[in-house]
Amino acid sequence: MHLLLFILYAFLLGWILLRRPFFKDLRPGLLIAFFLLKVGVGCLHNLLAYKYYPQHGDIWRFFQDSFTTRHGLSMGLSWFWARNSYLIHPVYWPHNIIEWMHILFNFLSFDNLYINTLFFSFLTIGGNVALFRVFYEKFGRDALCGLCVLLLPSVLFWTSCIHTEGIIYAMLGWLFYGLHRALSKGWTARLIIQPLLLTGLIIVLRPAFAIGLLPALLIWLGGEMHMRRITFFVGLGAFILLIVGLNRYRPDVLNSIPRTLSVRQQEYQHLEGNSRIPLPVLEPSWNSLRNILPDALFNGFFQPLPGTGGQKIYRAFSLELMVIGLIIGFSFVIFVVNGIRGHQPYHSFHYPRFFAAACLVLAFLGILLIGCIIPFVGAIVRYRSIFLPLLLPPYLGTLHDYPVYKRLNNRLIRHIFK
């Protein structure tokens, strides 16, 4: 029964996708193929989690918890609230969103996780395609840069299943899309409220995301809105004075940053897992945070190392890191060679330096933060999955005008768009 229901819903949701105006310029076959790819990878993740992860992983735990919550609700709201009032605390909101999503999906799926995954892919594919459009347009109609945010293995694996990463990544896509439209076509009330709301929701779901997201948005918006130099330096001076003043009169405010990171690291250090890696204890001080940076950089950017064992799926993510590193290294060499020869590397488009810088800042700070607090390879790979696709396109875009790259890009454009 569940298999027939899965097929029926897949046909219905695919039909709805083809009739949404947002996708009208994409080739229908390719859109449906990507939708089915997301669904298939999400279902594969569910299967692998059930077979290999301790206690079947968070995916199955949230799914099982939804039955407990539904049973509690059936006993009456007063009974449920008396035993679960603590769930209103913000720390439980990400868990609550996933759990309530399962509760709603279960009414249509008859309590089947794989059908729930189908619904989740349908709801998040719009944000993924929105992010593709932003990178495609910002880097001069570059389909390869756009596809990076859709088809990187870690992105597909961790955002296609019912995880918080999938929700955050879709909201990030709509956030970038709204800002891109506002900067290119002009600001409206809707294009002001929507980005503010999405930024707030992302930070609520993952507060640490603010450390990279807010500076990245400031760089992008400030640069493309042609902020005057005097305004920039006045703002920078005010920020420096604020930091100096807080350090002098309210040091507890600044110290709350390493203190919060220390608490988060301790929470992870107390967990058990098969992929634990060495990570020094982070004390609640700036000196300790500075001392841990080398380990954080290494763990965040280079784990899992090739041939270190662990789950077999880690080999794919290790290979992914190696390929990304080779592309970044190659583009950097080309950039240096062009600089030495005095060649203009971008003939056909204006390189989006502010947008590229924003992506790199968000990716670098996000991955660095992950390396600071998480001592497990599996969790590092998961949380890093929504930052890696932002790291690659700024470098890949530097190859935009090379003949081989251009031919491949033009061929992809013909196959993607009508």
Q: Is the model's pLDDT at 4 over the cut of 80?
A: yes
Single-letter code of the amino acid located at 280: P
The string of pLDDT tens digits covering residues 234-257 is 666 666 676 666 566 666 666 677
The string of pLDDT tens digits covering residues 40-98 is 999 999 998 888 776 677 888 888 878 877 777 666 666 666 556 555 666 666 777 88
Other CB atoms within 10 A of residue 47 CB: 12
The string of pLDDT tens digits covering residues 93-123 is 677 788 888 888 988 888 899 999 999 999 9
% residues pLDDT > 90 (the chain): 33
Burial 21-40 (b: 16+ CB within 10 A, else e): eebeebeeeebbebbeebbe
- The residue extents of the domains of the chain are 26-56+112-416
For residue 125, what are its two tokens? 């594919």
Rg of the chain over Cα atoms, rounded to whole angstroms, equals 23
Distance, in Å, from the CA atom of 58 to the CA atom of 175, rounded to the nearest integer, reads 27
What pLDDT is recorded for position 187? 84
For 172, the enclosing helix (H) or strand (E) is: helix 164-185
Distance, in Å, from the CA atom of 326 to the CA atom of 318, rounded to the nearest integer, reads 13
Distance, in Å, from the CA atom of 295 to the CA atom of 364, rounded to the nearest integer, reads 14
Q: Is the model's pLDDT at 31 over the cut of 90?
A: yes
What pLDDT is recorded for position 128? 95
Does the pTM of the predicted model rise above 0.75? Answer: yes
Single-letter code of the amino acid located at 18: L
What pLDDT is recorded for position 310? 58
For 7, the enclosing helix (H) or strand (E) is: helix 2-18
The string of pLDDT tens digits covering residues 141-197 is 889 999 999 999 999 999 998 988 999 999 999 999 999 999 888 888 888 899 999
Distance, in Å, from the CA atom of 385 to the CA atom of 90, rounded to the nearest integer, reads 24
Other CB atoms within 10 A of residue 213 CB: 21
The string of pLDDT tens digits covering residues 396-406 is 888 877 888 88
